[in-house]
């Protein structure tokens, strides 16, 4: 039977989420009826421009900010991360030192590697402990006179560990340093107040909370970012290009729906993660990569020692999970996050990531438990 005809249990929500039908419906309405360029001065242009202004106000309110002009629309969170870091470094002629972490998303790390290679700044890469956490004392001791930016993600996309960004924000404010947060796995699932947490720049994208792909956001209080894309001076001359109204409307609707049902979804997913773990934790040689307690309920990274993860996935064909970040899986490289935890290549290649979403059911979780047990039993016999 063609795999596409099978019922797939989707547990790869950290990679992307299915679009909410309400979001898709609203986007289609705008695609069909309000297709004008927001920069145009006729009715259709003025109409969509006003709707985009309303979207900015809605988004900034949810984030706990006050100025809608702090919202910059991008194509992805990866673009937002690039714009945040490069945009700041390109603006400074001196005093160029960044502090980040070895387990950051590749769009942060590769940007830092690029800037180092071009000799545009120095980077300090903080190590993590066996649970995936950075040491905040080491972070503060790493600050130099030249330090202009600290970039630390809130929730790790592979192991789900949660960094204490509120304390990091206080450290940055104390030393008058800009603080950037990659909140891609947080927004839509947890509340982040950018003012209370002293966050100066923050990146995220809609497709992680049941919105469309191809639309991201950079929240920035720093108005002197050097743009990556030059052109028509959209987005306060920080990011040129015609704004995609339907994408912006879709992002805003998805964000609104996510927080409208925030508590309900959080309680459900927390329950699902615990049920899954309780159902498989007695399997011999099974381990959690990271920290079960100090992590998001939406992600669990599990290691089955001596079971090759690709073979395991072959035995779980009706269940969509991943063996690494979707952003790097095509390169078939060992996870840099799991390497940073101290895992061996063999242990990394025995690990899978399961990530839950609001459309999952208890039936999905129970079926996954049964499937994992059957797969492990078969592979151990082989």
* Residue 187 pLDDT greater than 90, yes or no: yes
Residue 309's domain spans which residues?
3-19+261-381
pLDDT given at position 2: 47
Q: How many domains does the chain have?
A: 2
Assess whether 207 and 269 both reside in one domain. Answer: no
What the block records as the tokens of 321 is 């999970």
Average pLDDT over residues 99-127: 97
Task: Return the number of other C-beta atoms located less than 10 Å from residue 349's C-beta.
Answer: 19
Nearby residues of 42 by Cβ (< 8 Å), 6 or more positions away: 36
Return contacts of 113-117, CB within 8 angstroms, 24+ apart. 115/85, 115/86, 115/89
* CATH code, 204: 3.40.640.10
Is 268 in the same domain as 254? no
Could you tell me which of 282, 287, 288, 314 has the C-alpha nearest to residue 378? 314
Q: What is the pLDDT of residue 333?
A: 79
Domain boundary among 231, 260, 289: 260
At 67 the pLDDT is: 97
DSSP state letter for 155: B
Are 221 and 312 in a shared domain?
A: no
Of 236-240, 323-327, 355-359, which one has max mean pLDDT? 355-359
Helices (H) and strands (E) in the chain, counts: 13, 12
pLDDT tens per residue across span 15-65:
999 999 999 999 999 999 999 999 999 999 999 999 999 999 999 999 999
Of the chain, the percentage scoring pLDDT greater than 90 comes to 87
Same domain, 27 and 14: no
Q: Are residues 124 and 192 in the same domain?
A: yes
Within this chain, do residues 228 and 317 fall inside the same structural domain, yes or no? no
Residue 262 has pLDDT above 80, yes or no: yes
Shared-domain flag, residues 245 and 208: yes
pLDDT tens digits for 62-96?
A: 999 999 999 999 999 999 999 999 999 999 877 79
State whether 57 and 166 are in the same domain.
yes
Same-domain status, 270 and 251: no
Which residue in 101, 112, 172, 327 is the catalytic one? 327
Q: Which residue has the higher pLDDT, 98 or 380?
A: 98
Domain boundary residue, one of 226, 260, 294: 260
CATH number for position 362: 3.90.1150.10
Please compute the mean of the pLDDT values over residues 89-117 and round it to a whole number.
Answer: 93
240 pLDDT band, cuts 50/70/90, is: confident
Asked which of 81-90, 159-168, 328-337 is least confident by mean pLDDT, the reply is 328-337
Residue 112 annotated as catalytic: no
pLDDT of residue 131: 96
Residue 1 has pLDDT above 60, yes or no: no
Last-in-domain residue among 223, 241, 260: 260
- Both 158 and 303 in one domain: the answer is no
Averaged pLDDT score across all residues of the chain? 94
Q: Return the pLDDT at 6.
A: 67
Same domain, 170 and 300: no
My answer on whether 92 and 240 are in the same domain is yes
């Amino acid at each position: 039977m063609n795999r596409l005809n099978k019922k797939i249990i989707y547990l790869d929500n950290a990679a992307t989420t299915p679009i909410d039908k309400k979001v898709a419906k609203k986007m289609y309405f705008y695609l069909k009826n309000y297709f004008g360029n927001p920069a145009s001065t006729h009715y259709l242009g003025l109409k969509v421009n006003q709707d985009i202004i309303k979207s900015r106000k809605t988004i900034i309110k949810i984030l706990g900010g006050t100025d809608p002009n702090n919202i910059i629309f991008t194509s992805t969170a990866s673009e937002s991360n690039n714009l945040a870091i490069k945009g700041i470094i390109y603006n400074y002629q001196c005093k160029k030192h960044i502090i980040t972490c070895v387990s950051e998303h590749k769009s942060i790390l590769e940007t830092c590697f690029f800037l180092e290679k071009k000799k545009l700044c120095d980077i300090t890469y903080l190590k993590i402990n066996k649970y995936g956490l950075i040491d905040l004392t080491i972070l503060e001791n790493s600050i130099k006179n030249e330090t202009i930016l600290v970039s630390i993600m809130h929730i790790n996309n592979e192991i789900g560990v949660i960094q204490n960004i509120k304390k990091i924000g206080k450290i940055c404010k104390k030393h008058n340093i800009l603080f950037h947060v990659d909140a891609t796995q947080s927004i839509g699932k947890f509340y982040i107040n950018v003012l209370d947490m002293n966050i100066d720049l923050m990146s995220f994208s809609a497709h992680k909370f049941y919105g469309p792909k191809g639309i991201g956001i950079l929240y920035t209080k720093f108005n002197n970012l050097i743009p990556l894309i030059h052109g028509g001076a959209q987005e306060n001359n920080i990011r040129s290009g015609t704004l995609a109204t339907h994408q912006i409307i879709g992002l805003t609707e998805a964000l609104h729906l996510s927080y409208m049902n925030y508590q309900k979804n959080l309680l459900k997913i927390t329950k699902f993660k615990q049920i899954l773990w309780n159902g498989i934790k007695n399997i011999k040689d099974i381990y959690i990569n990271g920290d079960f307690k100090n992590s998001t309920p939406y992600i669990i990274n599990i290691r089955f020692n001596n079971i090759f993860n690709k073979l395991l996935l072959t035995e779980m064909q009706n269940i969509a999970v991943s063996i690494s970040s979707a952003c790097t899986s095509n390169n078939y490289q060992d996870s840099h996050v799991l390497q940073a935890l101290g895992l061996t290549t063999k242990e990394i290649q025995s690990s899978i990531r399961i990530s839950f979403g609001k459309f999952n059911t208890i039936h999905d979780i129970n079926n996954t438990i049964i499937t994992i047990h059957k797969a492990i039993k078969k592979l151990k016999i082989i």
